[in-house]
A and B are shown apart, each in its own frame.
Chain A
Amino acid sequence: MSIKRIATIAALTAIALTIFMLEAQIPVIIAVPGVKLGLSNIVTLIAVYILSKRDAGIILALRIMLGSIFAGNSMIFLYSAAGGLLSFASVCLTSSFLREKQIWAVGVLSAIAHNAAQIAVAALVMDSLALFWYLPWLIIAAIITGAFTGLSAQFAVKSLKNTRLR
């Protein structure tokens, strides 16, 4: 791994972590557990397209671990890890056949995966299947937030195209 790659990974991890911490301060409008803007996913998406899936995975793992340590809450780790894992899996799957003009769609699908995973964890924690009634709310939130983060990543990847990062 080159120095440039290591440095890029480090910088992206720092950015993802910062976004994650800041976002935790923003109250969400919808009264459903687990809904959030998911802005740090922008970094994950960018990393997949300008580095590699493995590097993006490293950044994600670091962000989840450090994020839950800094937030000081072990529940956050559980939800973050579950959401992050499933959304990363979906990114890996879909980025293989969606082109760069469709990163927004990768974002939407990863957001849906993320929210679905969080509901599943919440259902396990609460020992109740009634949680799944929140699914339509989560799908709506995921489509909107996923499109936003996916589009942001798409524009970022495009503008990084002729720089030395790509």
Chain B
Amino acid sequence: MFAAASLAVLVVMALALVRAIKGPTVYDRILSVNSFGTLTVVLIAVLGFLTERPEFLDIALVYALINFIGTIAVTKYVEFAHLGAPVDPGDWEDV
């Protein structure tokens, strides 16, 4: 049954990946890659139960945090074309 669950998650990941490949704007791609990351977290957790190795949950936990930080970083990079360092000194408005 865990195999069926992970298969379902893989199908959803494939659907999200289709939008990431097609997605007309860069924001569509970021959005679906973010969903892909959330599904990866779920997949790692399910795989941990499938292989009866609960240590996988620690990896899933870390992946959830890295997914968040990664998406924010890419979003900020796309928005400002840099990672938020002030362009002229004293201008911290867009950080």
Q: Do A and B bind each other?
A: no
Chain A contact residues, CB within 8 Å of chain B? none
